[in-house]
Structure 1
Amino acid sequence: MTRALFPAEAFAELARTRSAARSATLLRSALHTRRLLLLKSLWVRVHRDRESMDPAVFRRFAASWQLLEQAERSHPAVVRDLLDYPTTGTWLAGALMEPAGPGLGPHLFRLDVLAVTAVLRSGSPLDVTLDAPDGLLSLPGVGQLRATGGGRVRFQARSRTVRIHTEGHARRAPAALFLTDRRTGVLTGRGPGWTGLPVLSGSAARLDDLDPYRVPPGGIGTPPRAGSEHADTDRAAWAACWRSAQDLLTRTDPARAAEVRRAVRALVPLVPHGPGSSGATLSVAPGAVLTSLPSGAQDMAETLVHEVHHSKLATLHELVPLYLPGRTAVHRVGWRSDPRPIAGVLHGAYAHLALTDLWRRAATAERVSARWRTSAGQQFDRIHDEVDEALAILLESDELTSEGREFAHQMRLHHASLGAARRAAG
């Protein structure tokens, strides 16, 4: 895709941090196109290197690829949803970066799991046995089976029911999955060793504390932060925090609340580090919000809005490059103590522009607490000035593409309108 295929109105709408159905559809299309390209790149790499690969690994990859193709022909929407799930992006990035050698094999095993998950979600019959490395087998976006005492798991699917047998436990009742919605491919499960991923209220997002690809190997950020383990995750507290944040967003800005519900596919708990919470987004996994447990509704709402805009910008940049590669200049911005490359300046300015939009609305909202209105007004006054300085850096830079300069210009127009509205409100 190119800039010519992205309407000017939708481009400006995104730059102004407001995302209606048209621009959201274009971003979803761009994300899916990128996933298909990366998946095809993996196929090309595996076939190119097959002579140096364990023949059993190659045969398994080829069989799983064929199974995924079959599922796509019969239930394309289900397969698209699975390929677009955030952890699929993290897996593809890791597999494509893995050097040739035995380390690639474990990455390729993920295709087996993807293919089986696609067939199970489509409701097609299946009888297949998979390895369960370390006794764990995770189905992306669905849940995880703990195969205690066994290293292989058999899936027997007929119509809407899937029986899961763990090798070495013939006398134990199998776990079971149930296809509760054939149109969307929603699976729920129960039984020995099974742990599902809860759906967050009012959305299709999952609280994902299980998937091995929810956080890249080695963690995220500096210092590296790991994903919180399921045993250490208070799922009830996370669900309550999500609900309260959605309620606050809805009372402050219903359109923004709807965008968050639509855009977030996975909420990934991180191990806490220091006071307060901090969020993150992976450019290879748009739609995932990684964060330690926020302190409350306001903290969660701000984290969600902030990280959703990192996801939007990362997806847009794949569709329409906004900045040039290979530049080494760094710049100072108000919200960071370390100098940032131009990509960091653009990402930070965009996410904080979305927050100033939210805070400006909150400062005059009638259905929110006086405390939220006061806090929002104070944060707006501080961050609005910092965004102004960052936009000056962007508009004076030769590191943006022509599309990037137009995007920054539209950001500046929205930034100015927010300042004018704030002054008019007193």
Structure 2
Amino acid sequence: MTFAGPHAEALTELARTRSAVSSAALLSSALHARRLLLLKALLVRVQRHRDGVDGAAYRRFGAAWQLLERAERRRPDVVRDLLDYPTTGGWLAAALAEPVGPALDRHLARLDVLAVTAALRSGCPVNTTVDAPGGLLALPGVGRLRAGASRVRIRSDSRTGRVRPDVPGHAPPVVLLLTDPRTGALAGRGPGWSGLHVLSGSAARLDDMDPYRVPAGGIGSPPRGAEDHGTTDRAAWSARWESGLDLLHRTDPDRAGEVRRAVRALVPLVARGPGAFGATMSAAPGAVLTSLPAGAEDMAETLVHELHHSKMATLHELVPLYRPGRAAVHRVGWRADPRPIPGVMHGTYAHLALTDLWRRAAVAEGVPAAWRIRAGQQFDRIYDQVGEGLAILLESDELTSEGRKFARQMGRHHASLGAAPGATGSHCAHGT
């Protein structure tokens, strides 16, 4: 059975873990539509519970909404880029989950920062004051000011913004210059300013500054926290990114291109014990959260694995693949703990993408021999596990009609990969 309708080709391509123009456009549109829906939901919630929201917070939220609308009218593409940045999703998820009260009021202040960032990137003049919790002002996707004050004054014209602590005196401002009006790129200089590092060959940021890059309680079990800018070894992260992408490009240029386009943020996590730990947040597709991978192979695998969790999260919001609320759990080969159907679907999809990668690597020319051997071993270890995951999915009554079609297409691609091409040797563990 195949898909029907206008998205059929893109859905089939996605089930094969590949990315073409049609599938990339579908996921991009789905992500943006979701962000607009959640932003509107937050506005409705604030208005509905106006009596429970602090008066000053309510007024600032309304003013920030108007500024965001002004910036969007001026440069809708730039504002879309900002709204679709992963940490915007993390903020919306946190704000919508927070009960009405002081904690929600603090989350609402983030719209001030989002709107100011949109205005600066869109060349929209602004003159306002925003909160800087803990003396830090983080502009999403741009950088962070260590202000040393709880409020910050921002004034800008169409090309230049000036940011300074809102305290008596005449501290020199941080200057933010709109260097590319087409993309909304900003460059900053001045005391206390640190810009996000752009990873080479992509638009991805090494995001070690945004307060919404990791949930407040950490991620994973045991929970991992985010590395902070002051402790991040940017040279090491850049080297891992470059070597991982180079290996991907030599193994599978199309997949390397997908990583360059789709990964928006690489978020360093504090390491806990041996082996890298990678994760994604369903609310923040496009962000890869990971401790520092040991080498190029680990980085390549982490990027592919976590990107496919992002793709699955975005796709499921557009086309529900499974039904919520069921309690049944299932054993899968790559996890010690039993998984519910959503976990089986996500894990099977991510490991199918890795199996596709390893199948190609095992026969690729111009890649290190050690990578070919490792890839063949990993393929041999995971291939059957993916088949078992697919069997669980296809036997489940928790999948929707579209989810069953998607799983069948995954199964066809899995079958097409065939047996590992002559790889031998001991099996290597892969952290997930």
The alignment's TM-score, normalised by the length of structure 2, stands at: 0.95
Shift of 1:6: 4.7
Which residues of 2 match residues 106-125 of structure 1 at below 5 A?
Answer: 106-125=106-125
- Match of residue 221 from structure 2: 222
Name the count of aligned residue pairs.
422
- Match of residue 9 from structure 2: 9
Q: In structure 2, how many angstroms separate the alpha carbons of the residues matched to 1:210 and 1:202?
A: 21
Deviations 1:286-320 (A, max 9, x none): 00000000001110000000000000000000000
Deviations 1:5-39 (A, max 9, x none): 65212111100101101110010000000000000
Shift of 1:424: 9.0
Checking the alignment, whether the CA contact within 8 Å between 2:188 and 2:195 is kept in structure 1 is: yes
Which ranges in structure 2 are unaligned for 5 or more consecutive residues? 425-432
Which residues of 2 match residues 262-411 of structure 1 at below 5 A?
Answer: 262-411=261-410
Q: In structure 2, how many angstroms separate the alpha carbons of the residues matched to 1:198 and 1:406?
A: 41
- Match of residue 43 from structure 2: 43
- Match of residue 135 from structure 1: 135
Q: In structure 2, how many angstroms separate the alpha carbons of the residues matched to 1:240 and 1:215?
A: 23
1:162 is matched by which residue type in structure 2? Answer: G
- Match of residue 78 from structure 2: 78
Deviations 1:74-108 (A, max 9, x none): 11001101110000001001101100111111000
Deviations 1:245-266 (A, max 9, x none): 1111100000000000111000
2:299 is matched by which residue type in structure 1? Answer: M
In structure 2, the residue corresponding to 1:375 is in which secondary structure?
Answer: helix
1:206 is matched by which residue type in structure 2? Answer: R
- Match of residue 56 from structure 1: 56
Shift of 1:232: 1.4
Q: In structure 1, how many angstroms separate the alpha carbons of the residues matched to 2:119 and 2:203?
A: 20
Q: In structure 1, how many angstroms separate the alpha carbons of the residues matched to 2:17 and 2:58?
A: 45
- Match of residue 91 from structure 1: 91
Q: In structure 2, how many angstroms separate the alpha carbons of the residues matched to 1:53 and 1:311?
A: 33
1:395 is matched by which residue type in structure 2? Answer: L
Shift of 1:204: 0.6
Shift of 1:52: 2.3
Q: Which deviates further from its counterpart, 108-117 or 173-182?
A: 173-182
In structure 1, the residue corresponding to 2:130 is in which secondary structure?
Answer: strand
In structure 1, the residue corresponding to 2:418 is in which secondary structure?
Answer: helix
In structure 2, the residue corresponding to 1:237 is in which secondary structure?
Answer: helix
- Match of residue 194 from structure 1: 193
Shift of 1:4: 6.3
Q: In structure 1, how many angstroms separate the alpha carbons of the residues matched to 2:293 and 2:421?
A: 31
- Match of residue 238 from structure 1: 237
Q: In structure 2, how many angstroms separate the alpha carbons of the residues matched to 1:340 and 1:27?
A: 26
- Match of residue 19 from structure 2: 19
Q: In structure 2, how many angstroms separate the alpha carbons of the residues matched to 1:350 and 1:143?
A: 34
Q: In structure 1, how many angstroms separate the alpha carbons of the residues matched to 2:143 and 2:46?
A: 28
Which ranges in structure 1 are unaligned for 5 or more consecutive residues? none
1:143 is matched by which residue type in structure 2? Answer: G
Q: In structure 1, how many angstroms separate the alpha carbons of the residues matched to 2:169 and 2:294?
A: 46
Shift of 1:69: 0.7
In structure 1, the residue corresponding to 2:289 is in which secondary structure?
Answer: strand
What percent of counterpart residues are identical?
Answer: 71
Which residues of 2 match residues 165-184 of structure 1 at below 5 A?
Answer: 165-168=164-167, 170-184=169-183
2:31 is matched by which residue type in structure 1? Answer: L
Shift of 1:172: 3.1
Shift of 1:240: 0.9
1:154 is matched by which residue type in structure 2? Answer: R
Q: In structure 2, how many angstroms separate the alpha carbons of the residues matched to 1:20 and 1:308?
A: 15
Q: Which deviates further from its counterpart, 229-238 or 162-171?
A: 162-171
Q: In structure 1, how many angstroms separate the alpha carbons of the residues matched to 2:311 and 2:168?
A: 46
1:100 is matched by which residue type in structure 2? Answer: V
Checking the alignment, whether the CA contact within 8 Å between 1:364 and 1:425 is kept in structure 2 is: no
Alignment CA distance shift 1:292-1:424 (3 Å): closer
Q: In structure 1, how many angstroms separate the alpha carbons of the residues matched to 2:104 and 2:170?
A: 36
Q: Which deviates further from its counterpart, 351-360 or 52-61?
A: 52-61
